[in-house]
Structure 1
Amino acid sequence: MSSGALEAAQAALAAEHAAVYGYGVVGGRIGTARGAEASAAYAAHRARRDALARTVRDLGGEPTAAAAAYTLPFPVAGATSAERLAARLEDRVADVYSDLVRAAEGPLRQQAADALREAAVRAARWRGTGVAFPGLAERS
Structure 2
Amino acid sequence: MTADVLAAAQAALAAEHAAAYAYGVVGARAAAPRAAQAREAYGTHLARRDALVRTVRGLGGVPRAAEAAYRLPFDLRTPADADRLAAEIEDRVAGAYSDLVRAASGPLRREAADALTAAAVRAARWRGVGVAFPGLTERAGPPRSAPHS
Q: List gaps (5 residues or longer) in structure 2.
A: 140-149
Which runs of structure 2 are paired with 1:16-95 in the superposition (5 Å)?
16-95=16-95
Q: List gaps (5 residues or longer) in structure 1.
A: none
Q: Distance in 1 between matches of 2:47 and 2:77?
A: 27
Q: How many correspondences in the alignment?
A: 140
Shift of 1:88: 0.4
Shift of 1:39: 0.5
Correspondence for 1:116? 116
**What secondary structure sits across from 2:87 in the alignment?**
helix
Q: Which has the higher contact order (CA 8 A, sep 6+)?
A: 1
Query: What's the TM-score, normalizing by structure 1?
Result: 0.97
Q: Distance in 1 between matches of 2:93 and 2:104?
A: 16
- Which structure has the greater CA radius of gyration? 2
Query: What's the TM-score, normalizing by structure 2?
Result: 0.92
The CA RMSD over aligned residues, in Å, is 1.2
Shift of 1:31: 2.3
Q: Distance in 2 between matches of 1:45 and 1:138?
A: 22
Q: Distance in 1 between matches of 2:131 and 2:32?
A: 27
